[in-house]
Chains A and B, each alone.
Chain A
């Protein structure tokens, strides 16, 4: 599967016609897959607003380059969600490093009564995201897809690998994740 490059907004779409409304096929695809795509991105980013931004970008990429009723649509969207979220995560890490260098305070978004828990949860979350950003692309994508609830067959379709290989590759990804986190 050819994975989409992450595209920004504002790029007019090729020679096609801008319709007043979406095709029924696309609307059906969007309604069926939106929550799943957000869920995959959320596993990577741990931030719903950012995950929904990624999902919008993914659907725009698909909308401008593929017919909505192709059989591979769900698999394409799942793969694109994982890779686009990982791209966003790495971009976020680069921003964080710049901000840290400029001695700006980190934004602790979690809400709890215990300041110690806020710090601990935030540190764990940041550490997990940093590990995901360091892992090889396929391993990180595999973890995001699996822990977003995709079946082995769906992971195989999304990452264009044999279903019989998913178990082995997933175990390796989990082992790598544990090692990096320790």
Chain B
């Protein structure tokens, strides 16, 4: 007996059902029997402040990881290469200040408030159907969870962002003009920072999305438009400079008038800013704490209400992140099952 025979034995045709009639019958039954429905869970819209914050946190890792340095001169000083990640609580006032500075602007325009941002090799995301194709394009073995909660169904979509590169040149004039447009006065850019360049490196990055937007293969959830799980993996980003140091940049950042004392303290508390990736965490909406993932220290970020959580870690020169609507133990279980 082959598979076809088994299929024939179990019946090869689906029965024809009348769903409208079945729904009438169901409604009558729960009414007559007095059976109450468990109310649907109140879902936050994707535009909620927490998810924006989470997206920003993810963006820091993915965008930074997608930037790649090319053609670096021999005199370049590497000033940043993350070996670990740390959560930096960002208050609403910090977010207000940052959103005022970059309101409605894209990355280049926002960075343009402090100088000139130029993509030398821009990121170009591509989508793939299989992990093998994604691994081949990324140039590394794309890891995937080997254990998923039952809430995650269907097949993931795969995206790869190529190795890209960008150069940023600090400009005292740009800083003054941007501040003037916002009717404020920025601290003067120190002379040794003015004109200096940052070369940003990282990537490629691979992203796997389950329960993804329309057209996703195998997504059968009641809400297939909301991703149930996002897994990101990227070559750790590096930032190099032709002179300016991390300490000088940190001092300048802390002198900005809109930075809250809490954020300033958190930034000062980063032991080694040249090897620690700060991940902004909305202070009023989320919690974060260090966790052990895959034998290394990572960062857990959780929504105060338990709706969403993320785990971010760095291992063997790669950044990883797991984001979704999970409990902390579920998120850690997914993260630890990555192979």
Contact = CB atoms under 8 A, between A and B. Distances in A.
Nearest to B19: A34
B38 A66 contact: yes
A56 B29 CA distance: 9
B222 A68 contact: yes
Consensus secondary structure, chain B interface: loop
B107 interface: no
A60 B26 contact: yes
Nearest to B1: A178
Nearest to A62: B38
Nearest to A9: B33
Given A42-B11, A124-B9, A63 B222 contact: no
B6 A70 contact: no
Contact of B41 (A67, A160, A177): A67
A55 interface: yes
A71 B33 contact: no
B294 interface: no
A116 B294 CA distance: 65
B17 A67 contact: no
Contacts of A29: 222
Contact of A17 (B6, B14, B36, B220): B36
A31 interface: yes
Contacts, number: 180
A75 B150 contact: yes
Interface residues of A, number: 74
B27 interface: yes
Interface in A113-140: 124, 128
B26 A56 contact: yes
Interface stretch (B152-160, B187-195, B258-266): B152-160
B146 A67 contact: no
B21 to A, nearest CB: 9
A27 B30 CA distance: 13
Contacts of A10: 33
Interface stretch (A46-54, A92-100, A104-112): A46-54
A73 B153 contact: no
Contacts of A55: 22
Contacts of A48: 15, 17
Interface in A20-35: 20-23, 25-32, 34-35
Interface size class of B (residues with CB under 8 A): 35 or more
Consensus secondary structure, chain A interface: helix
A123 to B, nearest CB: 12
A153 interface: yes
B40 A67 contact: yes
Contacts of A51: 15
Nearest to A38: B17
A74 B220 contact: yes
Given A74-B222, A178-B6, A69 B40 contact: yes
B10 A35 contact: no
B154 A144 contact: no
A157 B30 CA distance: 28
B27 A21 contact: yes
Given A64-B37, A71-B325, A164-B146, A59 B6 contact: no
B23 interface: yes
A63 B34 CA distance: 12
B215 interface: no
B40 A68 contact: yes
Nearest to A132: B10
A42 B14 contact: yes
Contacts of B9: 124, 128, 181
A39 B15 contact: yes
Contacts of B6: 143, 147, 174, 177-178
Interface core residue of A15, A19, A21, A70 (most chain B CB under 10 Å) = A70
A69 B37 contact: no
A156 B14 CA distance: 22
A83 interface: no
B184 interface: no
Contacts of A167: none
Contacts of B10: 43, 128, 143-144, 147
Interface string A77-102: 00000000000000000000000000
Given A48-B15, A174-B3, 7 more contacts: A13-B34, A22-B26, A23-B40, A28-B222, A34-B19, A72-B151, A147-B11
27 contacts: A11-B35, A13-B30, A13-B33, A16-B38, A18-B34, A19-B37, A23-B39, A30-B22, A32-B222, A48-B15, A52-B17, A52-B22, A56-B25, A59-B26, A63-B35, A63-B38, A68-B37, A69-B222, A71-B151, A71-B153, A71-B211, A73-B221, A74-B153, A124-B9, A128-B9, A147-B11, A178-B1
**What 4 pairs across the A-B complex have the smallest Cβ distances?**
A16-B36, A13-B35, A157-B153, A13-B36
